Amino acid sequence: MSILGLHHITIVSADAQRTVDFYTGVLGLRLVKQTVNFDDPGSYHLYFGDQHGSAGTIITFFEWPRAPRGATGLGGTHHLALSVTNEQALLKWKRRLLDAKVRVNGPYDRNYFKSLYFRDPDGTILEIATKGPGWTVDEPLESLGQTALMPPKELMSSNRNECDIATINWPEPVPEITADMSLHEGLHHISAIGASVERSHEFYAGILGLQRVKMTYNFDDPTSAHWYWGSENGKPGTVMTYFERDPAHTRPVRMGAGQTHHIAFAVANDDEQLAWRERLLSFGKRVSPVQDRTYFKSIYTNDPDGHIIELATLGPGFAVDEPVEQLGKTLKLPPWLETQRSLIEEHLTPLVIPCSKLAVVEQSHAF
């Protein structure tokens, strides 16, 4: 019984069409499912990912029309990171985003990877991170996460020359997403904000069984501890990180557009999910009954800071109600909502799905 890695992250969007335009048209992800929030069927639930919607590649959105913008804080997510292979792809992304009038910070050397930061139209902080060089640059594989390590001084924000960094860019326009830029590798990591990394460790390592792969400090605020947990020695796509912030001086998350609703981890099947439910209950955690989400089954709990944590099965997958080649093109409803289709459609603004001409190669890290 093990957590396989990240399954998906679900974020609040104020405008479904704007979200579709950005994540498909700018970032080149595929809209793999157009459905509704099963708990609030008058609003969209959109899923983006690789060509199949593989676990670990999925970013989903609840549309809350005209919702005010939220703000990061305790109990919320700080950012999510998507994977690319190397720094060349990173620089191509910088050029493509800047040419699309998206403000970009970086590339920054985070010692274990290099990355860019930008925001989507709702203000969600997004990162694109390289896969390497990896966690073993400053400690051996057999002792990952056992020693607190300070970031190299030259990589801290106080020693960076932002003017020089701003000039680092790809020399030519990037009108199409090339194969090396493909974000179909999926999630690299998710970073959240908590009041105590020790308390977070008790949950993620002690209960969920994830491996702590790094104890370091926030490169932009070295007074803040930054710990990483993951599976398979912190393989990209499995990693959850926490910034520790003093609750006396940090506001709670303000839910709204651009903020994370929940984070989902992948489990193999229904039987393992039930075993996980029993384990969570044995630790005194509040856990939901199993919820049938059509494309996977889910249970929900909370981490010590209040983040909603979901454990979702790998299957049956997004092709259960439409062929792979048709994924995301039409509104799909679960059987128990089909009788309400006309009423539901009256509350939804029809989406225009862009025709993609992007040159991407399928390179999913599906579990």
| The pLDDT of residue 177 | 96
Range list of H helices, the chain: 16-20, 87-99, 162-166, 197-201, 270-282, 341-346
Task: Indicate the length of the chain as a whole number.
Answer: 367
Whether 248 contacts 271, CB under 8 Å = no
Q: What is the DSSP letter of 338?
A: G
Task: Show Cβ contacts of residue 54 under 8 Å, excluding neighbours closer than 6 positions.
Answer: 186, 364, 365, 366, 367
| The pLDDT of residue 105 | 97
| The pLDDT of residue 354 | 80
H or E element at residue 309: strand 308-313
Range list of H helices, 141-225: 162-166, 197-201
Q: Which CATH architecture has domain 5-316?
A: Roll (3.10)
Strands 260-267 and 308-313: parallel
Domain residue extents for the chain: 5-316
In the chain the first and final C-alpha atoms are separated, in Å, by: 15
Task: Show Cβ contacts of residue 167 under 8 Å, excluding neighbours closer than 6 positions.
Answer: none
Residue-wise pLDDT tens for the chain (367 aa)? 999 999 999 999 999 999 999 999 999 999 999 999 999 999 999 999 999 999 999 999 999 998 999 999 999 999 999 999 999 999 999 999 999 999 999 999 999 999 999 999 999 999 999 999 999 999 999 999 999 999 999 999 999 999 999 999 999 999 999 999 999 999 999 999 999 999 999 999 999 999 999 999 999 999 999 999 999 999 999 999 999 999 999 999 999 999 999 999 999 999 999 999 999 999 999 999 999 999 999 999 999 999 999 999 999 999 999 999 999 999 999 999 999 999 999 999 999 998 754 333 333 444 4
Calpha distance 76→193 (Å, rounded): 6
| The pLDDT of residue 358 | 39
Question: Considering only CA atoms, which of 221, 212, 213 is closest in space to residue 193?
Answer: 221
Task: Show Cβ contacts of residue 241 under 8 Å, excluding neighbours closer than 6 positions.
Answer: 189, 190, 191, 192, 226, 227, 228, 229
| The pLDDT of residue 356 | 52
Task: Tell me the residue ranges of DSSP E strands in 85-207.
Answer: 105-109, 114-119, 125-130, 187-194
Angle at 300 between CA 321 and CA 118, to 5 degrees: 80
Angle at 235 between CA 229 and CA 237, to 5 degrees: 85
What are residue 240's DSSP bridge partners? 190, 229
